[in-house]
């Protein structure tokens, strides 16, 4: 377990309590998340069937939007592909629509080639980006099989890297990699998905590498990289004449202490990234349902869009409660 700084004094810090001030609107948004009409739009119905093909080859029956809508319903309601086929069929029947239902084999095959764009609410002005990663497991033997055979098979997993807009709370970039990929190595691909200028990139100590500051500067020259230096980090030789961002962090920590630096630098905003990771695992889950890498990548992009949509339907506005 990682050592917490000032752990001997942290128990003196009382736990903050917050009160939701827009409970009525937030509660209505929570109910809307379960509404079928939110996820099955009129646009999807209008473009359900694929446009006629103008190049040689077989004619597709379903549009990409129809396949994406079906996979969205699968993600929201946590259904396997066969049950998703039944869910879409019953929904079309209830709506009185004479449209074909994509079977589970079609959904599986088409999910490998879909191109999913992230749908995120963008904030005005430079973006404060919060970056972090979580582990997501691949499907494996259940607890009953482990209990029956008395052995534990090592379960494989992937890393999901997310970049969150601190102001809107939505995920604006994501990548899925193998577990061996270093977090800092994926910052560049995440930043490539962000078109807006950056005000700051906030990340934890795993990103304390020179290339992280280089990637941030390459994207936006004026952006700050807010990453806590490791305890063993020392000042660079040019710290007195031309300090780097890491040098300035080290100097501030020496003057204010690490917890003081966290407050003045804006590092505490990284709690928003941790909240997003927790929200992903609670709402979406921590297991990848698909077995092929392209389908897994499509699945996580759809899951992120679902998470963003839920957050837009209603988010809590809270204030710190008096003790």
Provide long-range contacts, Cβ within 8 A and 24+ apart, for 18-26. Answer: 18/318, 18/319, 18/320, 18/321, 19/318, 19/319, 19/320, 19/321, 20/316, 20/317, 20/318, 21/317, 21/318, 21/319, 22/316, 22/317, 23/316, 25/314, 26/314, 26/315, 26/316, 26/317
What is residue 128's three-state secondary structure? Answer: strand
DSSP track, 57-74:
SPPPSB-HHHHHHHHHHH
- Say how many C-beta atoms besides its own lie within 10 A of residue 118's C-beta: 15
Q: Report yes or no: 225 and 200 within 8 Å, Cβ to Cβ.
A: yes
Q: Domains of the chain (ranges plus CATH)?
A: 16-115+291-323 (no CATH), 124-228+257-288 (3.30.420.10)
Taking the C-alpha atoms of residue 234 and residue 208, their distance in angstroms, rounded to an integer, is: 12
Computed over its alpha carbons, how large is the radius of gyration of the chain?
23
The pLDDT value given to residue 1: 42
The pLDDT value given to residue 285: 92
Q: Report yes or no: 120 and 170 within 8 Å, Cβ to Cβ.
A: yes
The pLDDT value given to residue 318: 83
- Say how many C-beta atoms besides its own lie within 10 A of residue 266's C-beta: 15
The pLDDT value given to residue 319: 85
258-285 pLDDT, tens digit per residue, is: 989 999 999 999 999 999 999 999 999 9
In terms of Cα–Cα distance, which of 173, 176, 169 is closest to 134? 176
161-203 pLDDT, tens digit per residue, is: 999 999 999 999 999 999 999 999 999 999 999 999 999 999 9
The pLDDT value given to residue 191: 96
The pLDDT value given to residue 281: 94
Question: Which residue in the block uniquely carries the two structure tokens 């093909």?
Answer: 53
Q: What is the pLDDT along the chain (323 residues), one digit of tens a residue?
A: 445 556 666 666 677 788 888 899 999 999 999 888 889 888 889 999 998 888 887 888 999 999 999 999 999 999 999 999 999 999 999 999 999 999 999 999 999 999 998 888 776 789 999 999 999 988 655 555 556 666 555 567 899 999 999 999 999 999 999 999 999 999 999 999 999 999 999 999 999 999 999 999 999 999 999 999 988 888 988 888 889 999 999 999 999 999 899 999 999 999 999 999 999 999 999 889 888 899 999 999 999 999 999 999 988 888 888 76
């Amino acid at each position: 377990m990682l050592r917490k700084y000032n752990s001997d004094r942290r128990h003196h810090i009382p736990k903050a309590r917050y009160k939701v001030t827009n409970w009525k609107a937030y509660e209505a948004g929570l109910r809307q998340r379960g509404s079928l009409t939110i996820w099955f739009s009129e646009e999807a119905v209008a473009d359900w069937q694929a446009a006629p093909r103008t190049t040689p080859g077989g004619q597709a029956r379903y549009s990409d939007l129809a396949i994406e809508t079906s996979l969205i319903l699968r993600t929201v309601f946590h259904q396997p592909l066969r049950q998703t086929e039944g869910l879409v069929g019953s929904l079309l029947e209830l709506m009185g629509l004479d449209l074909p239902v994509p079977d589970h084999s079609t959904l599986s095959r088409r999910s490998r080639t879909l191109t999913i764009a992230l749908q995120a609410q963008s904030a005005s002005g430079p973006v404060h980006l919060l970056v972090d990663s979580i582990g997501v497991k691949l499907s494996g033997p259940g607890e009953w099989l482990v209990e029956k055979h008395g052995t534990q098979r090592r379960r494989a997993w992937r890393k999901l890297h997310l970049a969150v807009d601190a102001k809107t709370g939505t995920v604006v970039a994501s990548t899925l990699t193998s577990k061996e990929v270093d977090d800092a190595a994926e910052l560049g691909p995440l930043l490539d998905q962000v078109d807006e200028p950056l005000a700051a990139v906030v990340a934890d100590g795993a990103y304390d590498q020179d290339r992280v500051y280089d990637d941030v500067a390459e994207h936006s020259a004026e952006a700050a990289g807010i990453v806590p230096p490791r305890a063993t980090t020392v000042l660079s030789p040019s710290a007195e004449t031309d300090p780097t961002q890491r040098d300035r962090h080290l100097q501030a920590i020496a003057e204010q202490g690490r917890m003081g630096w966290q407050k003045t630098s804006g590092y505490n905003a990284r709690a928003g990234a941790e909240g997003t990771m927790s929200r992903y695992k609670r709402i979406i889950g921590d297991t990848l349902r698909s077995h092929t890498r392209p389908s897994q990548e499509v699945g996580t992009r759809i899951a992120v869009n679902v998470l963003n949509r839920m957050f837009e339907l209603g988010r809590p506005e809270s204030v710190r409660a008096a003790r």
